[in-house]
Homo-oligomer: A and B are copies of this chain.
Amino acid sequence: MRIRCSKSELVKGVNIVMKAIPSKTTMTILECILIIAYNGTITLTANDMELGIDTIITGDIEENGAVALNAKLISDIVRKLPDNTVLIETDENFMTKISCEKSKFNLVGRSGEEFPYPEEVKKDDFITISQFTLREVIKQTIFSIADNDNNKIMTGELFEIKGNTMKVISLDGHRISIRNIELRQEYPDKKVIVPGKTLSEIEKILSGEIEKTVNIYFTQSNAVFEFDNTVVTTRLIEGEYFNIDQMMSDDYETKVVINKKEFIDSIERAILLVKDNDKKPVILSIENDVMEIKINSTIGSMNEDINIDKEGFDLMIGFNPKFILDALRVIDDESISLYFMNSKAPCFIKEENDKYTYLILPVNFNNVG
Protein backbone atom coordinates (compact mmCIF):
# COMPACT_ATOMS: atom_id res chain seq x y z
CA MET A 1 0.00 0.00 0.00
CA ARG A 2 1.17 3.49 -0.76
CA ILE A 3 -1.06 6.51 -0.10
CA ARG A 4 -0.71 10.26 0.24
CA CYS A 5 -3.10 12.49 2.12
CA SER A 6 -3.06 15.69 4.07
CA LYS A 7 -2.29 15.58 7.77
CA SER A 8 -5.65 17.21 8.52
CA GLU A 9 -7.66 14.58 6.61
CA LEU A 10 -5.75 11.86 8.39
CA VAL A 11 -6.30 13.43 11.83
CA LYS A 12 -10.01 13.89 11.12
CA GLY A 13 -10.45 10.32 9.95
CA VAL A 14 -8.43 8.80 12.78
CA ASN A 15 -10.38 10.82 15.38
CA ILE A 16 -13.65 9.48 14.00
CA VAL A 17 -12.76 5.79 13.93
CA MET A 18 -10.94 6.01 17.32
CA LYS A 19 -14.41 6.07 18.87
CA ALA A 20 -14.75 2.36 18.06
CA ILE A 21 -11.41 1.37 19.61
CA PRO A 22 -12.17 -0.59 22.79
CA SER A 23 -10.48 0.72 25.94
CA LYS A 24 -9.82 -2.84 27.07
CA THR A 25 -9.64 -5.93 24.94
CA THR A 26 -7.78 -9.21 24.82
CA MET A 27 -7.82 -9.15 21.00
CA THR A 28 -4.94 -6.86 20.08
CA ILE A 29 -6.16 -6.57 16.49
CA LEU A 30 -9.14 -4.56 17.82
CA GLU A 31 -6.68 -1.96 19.11
CA CYS A 32 -5.79 -1.26 15.48
CA ILE A 33 -7.16 1.01 12.81
CA LEU A 34 -7.44 -0.76 9.48
CA ILE A 35 -6.42 1.33 6.48
CA ILE A 36 -7.66 0.08 3.12
CA ALA A 37 -6.66 1.72 -0.14
CA TYR A 38 -8.67 0.21 -2.93
CA ASN A 39 -10.69 1.20 -5.95
CA GLY A 40 -9.75 4.87 -5.60
CA THR A 41 -10.96 5.07 -2.00
CA ILE A 42 -9.01 5.27 1.26
CA THR A 43 -11.08 3.88 4.14
CA LEU A 44 -10.21 3.84 7.83
CA THR A 45 -12.03 1.26 9.98
CA ALA A 46 -12.22 0.35 13.64
CA ASN A 47 -14.47 -2.22 15.29
CA ASP A 48 -14.99 -3.19 18.92
CA MET A 49 -17.30 -6.04 17.89
CA GLU A 50 -20.41 -4.19 19.01
CA LEU A 51 -19.75 -0.91 17.24
CA GLY A 52 -17.90 -0.55 13.94
CA ILE A 53 -16.95 2.69 12.20
CA ASP A 54 -15.77 3.22 8.62
CA THR A 55 -14.78 6.59 7.31
CA ILE A 56 -13.46 7.62 3.93
CA ILE A 57 -10.64 10.16 3.72
CA THR A 58 -9.51 12.15 0.72
CA GLY A 59 -6.09 11.23 -0.64
CA ASP A 60 -4.13 9.70 -3.49
CA ILE A 61 -3.60 5.99 -3.81
CA GLU A 62 -0.29 5.14 -5.47
CA GLU A 63 -0.57 1.46 -4.67
CA ASN A 64 -3.61 -0.50 -3.44
CA GLY A 65 -3.34 -2.41 -0.20
CA ALA A 66 -4.30 -2.63 3.44
CA VAL A 67 -2.60 -2.49 6.82
CA ALA A 68 -3.73 -2.51 10.46
CA LEU A 69 -1.84 -0.08 12.72
CA ASN A 70 -2.07 0.46 16.47
CA ALA A 71 -4.74 3.13 16.87
CA LYS A 72 -3.31 4.95 19.87
CA LEU A 73 0.14 5.16 18.30
CA ILE A 74 -1.05 6.24 14.86
CA SER A 75 -3.33 8.83 16.44
CA ASP A 76 -0.48 10.29 18.53
CA ILE A 77 1.86 10.34 15.55
CA VAL A 78 -0.43 11.95 13.00
CA ARG A 79 -1.43 14.69 15.43
CA LYS A 80 2.22 15.62 15.97
CA LEU A 81 3.20 15.63 12.29
CA PRO A 82 3.81 18.93 10.47
CA ASP A 83 0.77 20.33 8.64
CA ASN A 84 1.63 18.88 5.28
CA THR A 85 1.17 15.88 3.02
CA VAL A 86 1.70 12.53 4.71
CA LEU A 87 2.96 9.50 2.84
CA ILE A 88 2.08 6.07 4.23
CA GLU A 89 3.71 3.03 2.63
CA THR A 90 3.87 -0.60 3.66
CA ASP A 91 6.06 -3.45 2.46
CA GLU A 92 5.08 -7.11 2.03
CA ASN A 93 5.65 -7.72 5.78
CA PHE A 94 3.40 -4.79 6.72
CA MET A 95 6.36 -2.75 7.95
CA THR A 96 4.92 0.73 7.60
CA LYS A 97 6.73 3.95 6.86
CA ILE A 98 5.02 7.25 7.63
CA SER A 99 6.77 10.31 6.26
CA CYS A 100 5.93 13.98 6.39
CA GLU A 101 8.44 16.65 5.46
CA LYS A 102 11.74 15.52 7.03
CA SER A 103 10.10 13.32 9.62
CA LYS A 104 10.06 9.56 9.08
CA PHE A 105 8.48 6.88 11.25
CA ASN A 106 8.85 3.12 10.84
CA LEU A 107 6.20 1.02 12.54
CA VAL A 108 5.29 -2.63 12.68
CA GLY A 109 1.91 -3.05 10.99
CA ARG A 110 -0.33 -6.09 10.78
CA SER A 111 -2.18 -7.79 7.97
CA GLY A 112 -5.70 -6.55 7.38
CA GLU A 113 -6.83 -10.16 7.02
CA GLU A 114 -7.09 -10.74 10.75
CA PHE A 115 -9.29 -7.68 11.12
CA PRO A 116 -12.95 -8.40 11.94
CA TYR A 117 -14.67 -6.27 9.37
CA PRO A 118 -18.02 -4.80 10.51
CA GLU A 119 -20.98 -6.88 9.34
CA GLU A 120 -22.48 -5.89 6.00
CA VAL A 121 -26.05 -4.80 6.53
CA LYS A 122 -28.81 -5.08 3.96
CA LYS A 123 -29.77 -1.48 3.31
CA ASP A 124 -33.45 -1.36 2.41
CA ASP A 125 -35.55 0.66 4.81
CA PHE A 126 -34.07 3.81 6.16
CA ILE A 127 -35.13 7.02 7.77
CA THR A 128 -33.49 10.38 7.23
CA ILE A 129 -33.10 13.06 9.89
CA SER A 130 -30.82 16.04 10.25
CA GLN A 131 -27.50 15.60 12.02
CA PHE A 132 -28.45 18.44 14.31
CA THR A 133 -31.63 16.70 15.44
CA LEU A 134 -29.99 13.35 16.00
CA ARG A 135 -27.26 14.96 18.07
CA GLU A 136 -29.75 16.90 20.17
CA VAL A 137 -31.94 13.86 20.74
CA ILE A 138 -29.00 11.77 21.92
CA LYS A 139 -27.66 14.52 24.18
CA GLN A 140 -31.10 15.03 25.70
CA THR A 141 -31.68 11.39 26.61
CA ILE A 142 -28.33 9.61 26.97
CA PHE A 143 -27.76 10.65 30.60
CA SER A 144 -30.59 8.47 31.92
CA ILE A 145 -29.50 5.09 30.60
CA ALA A 146 -28.36 2.70 33.33
CA ASP A 147 -24.68 2.98 34.23
CA ASN A 148 -24.25 -0.74 34.79
CA ASP A 149 -25.02 -3.95 32.93
CA ASN A 150 -27.43 -5.49 35.44
CA ASN A 151 -30.24 -4.95 33.01
CA LYS A 152 -28.88 -4.92 29.47
CA ILE A 153 -32.00 -3.27 28.04
CA MET A 154 -31.55 -0.24 30.30
CA THR A 155 -28.10 0.37 28.79
CA GLY A 156 -29.71 1.20 25.46
CA GLU A 157 -32.30 3.63 24.14
CA LEU A 158 -35.56 2.78 22.45
CA PHE A 159 -35.99 4.26 18.97
CA GLU A 160 -39.65 3.93 18.02
CA ILE A 161 -40.82 5.04 14.59
CA LYS A 162 -44.54 5.37 13.96
CA GLY A 163 -45.82 7.17 10.88
CA ASN A 164 -44.00 10.47 10.72
CA THR A 165 -42.80 10.55 14.34
CA MET A 166 -39.79 9.13 16.10
CA LYS A 167 -39.80 8.65 19.86
CA VAL A 168 -36.52 8.12 21.72
CA ILE A 169 -36.66 6.79 25.30
CA SER A 170 -34.08 6.05 27.97
CA LEU A 171 -34.63 5.00 31.57
CA ASP A 172 -32.66 3.70 34.53
CA GLY A 173 -35.30 2.76 37.10
CA HIS A 174 -35.32 6.18 38.77
CA ARG A 175 -36.23 8.35 35.82
CA ILE A 176 -37.35 8.31 32.22
CA SER A 177 -36.33 10.66 29.40
CA ILE A 178 -38.47 10.94 26.29
CA ARG A 179 -37.88 12.92 23.12
CA ASN A 180 -40.42 13.13 20.29
CA ILE A 181 -39.33 14.20 16.83
CA GLU A 182 -41.45 14.86 13.81
CA LEU A 183 -39.99 13.23 10.70
CA ARG A 184 -40.17 14.78 7.24
CA GLN A 185 -42.23 11.89 5.87
CA GLU A 186 -44.06 8.72 6.91
CA TYR A 187 -42.03 5.57 7.51
CA PRO A 188 -42.99 1.97 8.29
CA ASP A 189 -43.30 1.27 12.03
CA LYS A 190 -40.10 0.18 13.75
CA LYS A 191 -39.00 -0.40 17.32
CA VAL A 192 -35.33 -1.08 18.15
CA ILE A 193 -33.01 -0.71 21.14
CA VAL A 194 -29.70 0.97 20.24
CA PRO A 195 -26.75 0.57 22.67
CA GLY A 196 -26.07 3.74 24.66
CA LYS A 197 -22.34 3.44 24.02
CA THR A 198 -22.97 3.63 20.26
CA LEU A 199 -25.18 6.67 20.64
CA SER A 200 -22.73 8.60 22.76
CA GLU A 201 -19.93 7.93 20.28
CA ILE A 202 -22.16 8.97 17.37
CA GLU A 203 -23.04 12.17 19.19
CA LYS A 204 -19.32 13.03 19.34
CA ILE A 205 -18.75 12.36 15.63
CA LEU A 206 -21.81 14.11 14.17
CA SER A 207 -20.95 17.52 12.80
CA GLY A 208 -24.39 18.62 14.00
CA GLU A 209 -25.20 20.89 11.07
CA ILE A 210 -28.89 21.34 10.38
CA GLU A 211 -28.54 21.05 6.58
CA LYS A 212 -26.61 17.79 6.80
CA THR A 213 -28.52 14.55 7.20
CA VAL A 214 -28.08 11.07 8.61
CA ASN A 215 -29.60 7.96 7.05
CA ILE A 216 -30.44 5.34 9.62
CA TYR A 217 -30.99 1.74 8.49
CA PHE A 218 -32.51 -0.77 10.87
CA THR A 219 -32.41 -4.54 10.47
CA GLN A 220 -33.27 -7.36 12.84
CA SER A 221 -30.01 -7.22 14.73
CA ASN A 222 -28.15 -4.14 13.47
CA ALA A 223 -28.48 -0.46 12.84
CA VAL A 224 -26.38 1.59 10.45
CA PHE A 225 -25.91 5.35 10.69
CA GLU A 226 -24.63 6.90 7.46
CA PHE A 227 -23.51 10.53 7.39
CA ASP A 228 -20.81 12.60 5.71
CA ASN A 229 -18.12 10.08 4.74
CA THR A 230 -18.76 7.88 7.73
CA VAL A 231 -20.70 4.68 8.35
CA VAL A 232 -21.37 3.54 11.91
CA THR A 233 -22.63 -0.03 12.25
CA THR A 234 -23.90 -1.23 15.60
CA ARG A 235 -25.49 -4.33 17.02
CA LEU A 236 -28.92 -3.78 18.51
CA ILE A 237 -29.88 -4.89 22.00
CA GLU A 238 -32.26 -7.84 21.89
CA GLY A 239 -35.43 -8.00 23.94
CA GLU A 240 -38.65 -6.15 24.58
CA TYR A 241 -38.34 -2.57 25.85
CA PHE A 242 -40.25 -1.48 28.96
CA ASN A 243 -43.83 -0.40 28.55
CA ILE A 244 -43.75 3.09 30.01
CA ASP A 245 -47.29 4.10 29.11
CA GLN A 246 -48.62 3.14 32.55
CA MET A 247 -46.13 5.55 34.15
CA MET A 248 -47.28 8.47 32.02
CA SER A 249 -50.04 10.83 33.01
CA ASP A 250 -51.28 14.25 32.01
CA ASP A 251 -53.01 14.83 35.34
CA TYR A 252 -51.43 17.07 37.93
CA GLU A 253 -52.28 18.79 41.17
CA THR A 254 -49.49 21.34 41.08
CA LYS A 255 -47.86 23.03 38.13
CA VAL A 256 -44.76 25.20 38.55
CA VAL A 257 -43.17 27.40 35.93
CA ILE A 258 -39.61 28.34 36.90
CA ASN A 259 -36.56 30.03 35.40
CA LYS A 260 -34.27 27.20 34.38
CA LYS A 261 -30.97 28.98 35.10
CA GLU A 262 -31.97 30.02 38.61
CA PHE A 263 -33.12 26.49 39.32
CA ILE A 264 -29.86 24.97 38.03
CA ASP A 265 -27.68 27.44 39.96
CA SER A 266 -29.55 26.73 43.15
CA ILE A 267 -29.32 22.95 42.87
CA GLU A 268 -25.66 23.20 41.92
CA ARG A 269 -25.11 25.00 45.22
CA ALA A 270 -27.18 22.47 47.16
CA ILE A 271 -25.21 19.59 45.71
CA LEU A 272 -22.00 20.99 47.22
CA LEU A 273 -23.21 19.73 50.59
CA VAL A 274 -23.70 16.16 49.33
CA LYS A 275 -20.67 13.93 49.71
CA ASP A 276 -20.25 10.98 47.35
CA ASN A 277 -22.04 8.28 49.31
CA ASP A 278 -24.34 10.44 51.36
CA LYS A 279 -27.59 10.37 49.41
CA LYS A 280 -29.26 13.42 50.84
CA PRO A 281 -32.29 14.62 48.89
CA VAL A 282 -32.86 18.20 47.87
CA ILE A 283 -36.26 19.30 49.10
CA LEU A 284 -38.52 21.51 47.02
CA SER A 285 -41.00 23.34 49.16
CA ILE A 286 -43.62 25.02 46.98
CA GLU A 287 -45.68 27.66 48.70
CA ASN A 288 -47.61 30.33 46.86
CA ASP A 289 -45.27 32.04 44.40
CA VAL A 290 -42.02 30.80 45.89
CA MET A 291 -40.17 27.53 45.69
CA GLU A 292 -37.70 27.00 48.50
CA ILE A 293 -34.82 24.70 47.63
CA LYS A 294 -33.21 23.19 50.71
CA ILE A 295 -30.81 20.47 51.68
CA ASN A 296 -29.60 19.23 55.03
CA SER A 297 -26.54 17.02 55.10
CA THR A 298 -23.86 15.94 57.54
CA ILE A 299 -21.71 18.86 56.35
CA GLY A 300 -24.24 21.64 56.76
CA SER A 301 -27.44 22.98 55.34
CA MET A 302 -28.48 25.27 52.52
CA ASN A 303 -31.72 26.92 51.58
CA GLU A 304 -32.81 29.46 49.04
CA ASP A 305 -35.97 30.84 47.48
CA ILE A 306 -36.84 31.13 43.82
CA ASN A 307 -39.86 33.02 42.50
CA ILE A 308 -42.21 30.83 40.49
CA ASP A 309 -45.59 30.82 38.75
CA LYS A 310 -47.76 28.24 40.44
CA GLU A 311 -51.08 26.56 39.61
CA GLY A 312 -52.74 24.24 42.12
CA PHE A 313 -51.75 23.12 45.59
CA ASP A 314 -48.72 23.82 47.74
CA LEU A 315 -46.37 20.86 48.01
CA MET A 316 -43.18 19.60 49.61
CA ILE A 317 -41.25 16.91 47.72
CA GLY A 318 -37.72 15.47 47.77
CA PHE A 319 -35.44 14.45 44.90
CA ASN A 320 -31.98 13.18 44.17
CA PRO A 321 -30.52 16.54 43.09
CA LYS A 322 -28.38 14.95 40.39
CA PHE A 323 -31.44 13.63 38.56
CA ILE A 324 -33.01 17.08 38.39
CA LEU A 325 -29.74 18.66 37.27
CA ASP A 326 -29.18 16.09 34.51
CA ALA A 327 -32.54 16.92 32.96
CA LEU A 328 -32.34 20.69 33.42
CA ARG A 329 -28.89 20.87 31.83
CA VAL A 330 -30.04 19.44 28.49
CA ILE A 331 -33.22 21.50 28.13
CA ASP A 332 -32.82 24.51 25.86
CA ASP A 333 -35.85 26.47 27.07
CA GLU A 334 -35.33 29.45 29.36
CA SER A 335 -38.28 28.64 31.54
CA ILE A 336 -39.57 25.15 32.24
CA SER A 337 -42.75 23.58 33.60
CA LEU A 338 -42.85 21.05 36.42
CA TYR A 339 -45.96 18.92 37.06
CA PHE A 340 -46.62 17.16 40.38
CA MET A 341 -49.40 14.90 41.74
CA ASN A 342 -48.22 14.56 45.34
CA SER A 343 -44.99 13.99 47.27
CA LYS A 344 -44.94 10.24 46.49
CA ALA A 345 -45.66 10.48 42.77
CA PRO A 346 -43.18 11.22 39.99
CA CYS A 347 -42.52 14.76 38.84
CA PHE A 348 -42.77 15.53 35.14
CA ILE A 349 -40.68 18.17 33.43
CA LYS A 350 -42.56 18.59 30.18
CA GLU A 351 -42.74 20.75 27.15
CA GLU A 352 -46.27 21.72 26.04
CA ASN A 353 -46.09 19.96 22.69
CA ASP A 354 -44.51 16.84 24.18
CA LYS A 355 -41.20 17.65 22.50
CA TYR A 356 -39.56 16.37 25.67
CA THR A 357 -40.78 14.69 28.86
CA TYR A 358 -38.58 13.96 31.86
CA LEU A 359 -40.08 11.80 34.57
CA ILE A 360 -38.22 11.75 37.90
CA LEU A 361 -39.21 9.63 40.90
CA PRO A 362 -39.23 11.48 44.23
CA VAL A 363 -37.36 10.25 47.31
CA ASN A 364 -38.50 10.02 50.87
CA PHE A 365 -37.35 12.85 53.10
CA ASN A 366 -39.13 11.95 56.33
CA ASN A 367 -35.91 11.86 58.29
CA VAL A 368 -34.74 15.19 57.00
CA GLY A 369 -35.33 18.46 58.81
Instruction: Report which residue of A102, A104, A306 has the largest number of chain B beta carbons within 10 angstroms of its beta carbon.
Output: A102
Return chain B residues, CB-CB under 8 Å to A81. 269
Return chain B residues, CB-CB under 8 Å to A304. 101-104
Return chain B residues, CB-CB under 8 Å to A108. 299-300
A82 to B108, CA, bound (A): 56
Residues of A277-320 contacting chain B, CB below 8 A: 299-306
A149 interface contact, C-beta 8 A = no
- State whether A105 and B265 are in contact (beta carbons under 8 Å apart), knowing that A76-B272, A272-B73 are contacts in the complex: no
| Shortest CB distance A167–B (Å) | 36
A105 touches B302 (CB 8 A): yes
A64 interface contact, C-beta 8 A = no
| Shortest CB distance A276–B (Å) | 13
Residues of A94-121 contacting chain B, CB below 8 A: 101-108
B80 touches A299 (CB 8 A): no
- State whether A265 and B303 are in contact (beta carbons under 8 Å apart), knowing that A73-B272, A272-B73 are contacts in the complex: no
A268 interface contact, C-beta 8 A = yes
Return chain B residues, CB-CB under 8 Å to A300. 73, 105-108
Residues of A77-95 contacting chain B, CB below 8 A: 77, 80-82
Return chain B residues, CB-CB under 8 Å to A301. 105-106
| Shortest CB distance A301–B (Å) | 5
A266 interface contact, C-beta 8 A = yes
A104 to B102, CA, bound (A): 62
A306 to B104, CA, bound (A): 12
Return chain B residues, CB-CB under 8 Å to A102. 304-306
Residues of A235-290 contacting chain B, CB below 8 A: 265-266, 268-269, 272-273
| Shortest CB distance A307–B (Å) | 9
A140 to B265, CA, bound (A): 41
Return chain B residues, CB-CB under 8 Å to A105. 269, 273, 300-302
A105 to B299, CA, bound (A): 10
Return chain B residues, CB-CB under 8 Å to A73. 272-273, 299-300
Return chain B residues, CB-CB under 8 Å to A305. 102
| Shortest CB distance A292–B (Å) | 9
Residues of A186-240 contacting chain B, CB below 8 A: none
Instruction: Report which residue of A70, A273, A300, A301 has the largest number of chain B beta carbons within 10 angstroms of its beta carbon.
Output: A300
What are the nearest 7 A-B pairs in CB distance? A107-B300, A103-B304, A106-B301, A102-B304, A76-B272, A105-B302, A102-B305
